[in-house]
Copies of this chain bind each other. A is one copy, B any other.
């Protein structure tokens, strides 16, 4: 699963590219002080050395299974939905060779990457590049900047390719200078949300148009009950990285906690928000941090209630459960008492590994010829 990664030392001068030059103080004194502090932190001598991270990636016609018998034709990065995790460090040079094995043109946009000096790698068809034609390979090259929860997706006919064909994956850039709260995190979870219109399931090249009625709703490409629990221990501090990958809004409620919304779009909030429900739209990312001090069995679900169905059937869609390991799972009423647990469904295992690109066998679909 650890594919195609070549480490090379990069020249240290690249580090300057990572300065947060976008931050402009305003007239609120305490705010200024906070920003100044952030700025000082950011320009401290950088000890970590930037690396070159080079990967190969394909785009493939792939059939995935959303839940039960609901299949969908996707254009899948490395044949999986979501695409492989790309996990690098702020300042790293990232090189990705993309080979389009489908019958339609595509690109990859690295959503959130500044592309300072490399706008031609921004991946927008007819704006920053010509589309990658079927059979062709294209190379993207950029500095991993800024840090945080980013993602990548196709930028051709996004109304279909992104909203309906699973062309997205997570890009996590670890900061050179993490916030104190980040250092306390024991487990990282990534959740990518997407809606699907089943009538287009087997009609690649069509869909994502006015009049569509989404009827399947997935987290990391799966709908409940085919999602997976998050298993935690008391004392864990978990970070959940929510990514609006599809076409809809989501209002995610987590039971049994008041969480902190600490990051938006990869950037720390100067003023984190306490909440039990978090709203986000397509393209947005919100990172939550939860201190696991309340053992129990806690639902996590979209409170847009219609997103908790599979087709016309209730109790599906965007739902999962945080399970404390010190709470038995054998209640006769518990729907997941015999659940086959598959770790890494939320990339929590891959996120513990060294930097690199990680494919996930569980997300692989069936090749379509």
Residues on A lying within 8 angstroms of B by beta carbon are: 20-31, 33-34, 37-38, 41, 109, 111-112, 114-116, 119, 122, 124, 126-130, 146, 155, 157-160, 162-163, 179-181, 184, 208-215, 237, 244, 246-247, 249-251, 253, 255-260, 262, 264-277, 279-284, 289-291, 293-299, 303-306, 308-309, 311-312, 314-315, 321, 327, 332-336
Contact = CB atoms under 8 A, between A and B. Distances in A.
A306 B247 contact: yes
A146 B258 contact: yes
Nearest to A21: B293
A182 to B, nearest CB: 9
B335 A256 contact: no
A214 B22 CA distance: 36
A369 B247 CA distance: 41
A184 to B, nearest CB: 7
Contacts of A260: 22-24
A97 to B, nearest CB: 20
Contacts of A305: 158-159, 162-163, 208, 246-247, 282
12 contacts: A24-B289, A27-B268, A28-B34, A28-B38, A30-B33, A124-B255, A127-B336, A130-B333, A159-B305, A264-B274, A266-B276, A276-B283
Contact of A315 (B111, B157, B262): B157
A259 B157 contact: no
Contacts of A258: 20, 22, 114, 146, 265, 267
Contact of A28 (B37, B208, B246, B336): B37
A200 to B, nearest CB: 12
A38 B21 CA distance: 25
Given A258-B146, A327-B119, A291 B25 contact: no
A257 to B, nearest CB: 6
A211 to B, nearest CB: 5
Contacts of A298: 119, 122
Top 10 A-B residue pairs of the complex, sorted by shortest distance between their CB atoms: A119-B296, A283-B303, A251-B281, A271-B271, A30-B30, A210-B215, A267-B274, A130-B333, A279-B281, A277-B283
B26 A158 contact: no
Nearest to A272: B26
B296 A281 contact: no
A21 to B, nearest CB: 6
Nearest to A274: B267
A297 to B, nearest CB: 6
A142 to B, nearest CB: 11
Given A273-B264, A283-B253, A334-B126, A294 B34 contact: no
Contacts of A249: 249, 251, 279, 281
A65 to B, nearest CB: 19
A27 B37 contact: yes
A26 B179 contact: yes
A180 to B, nearest CB: 5
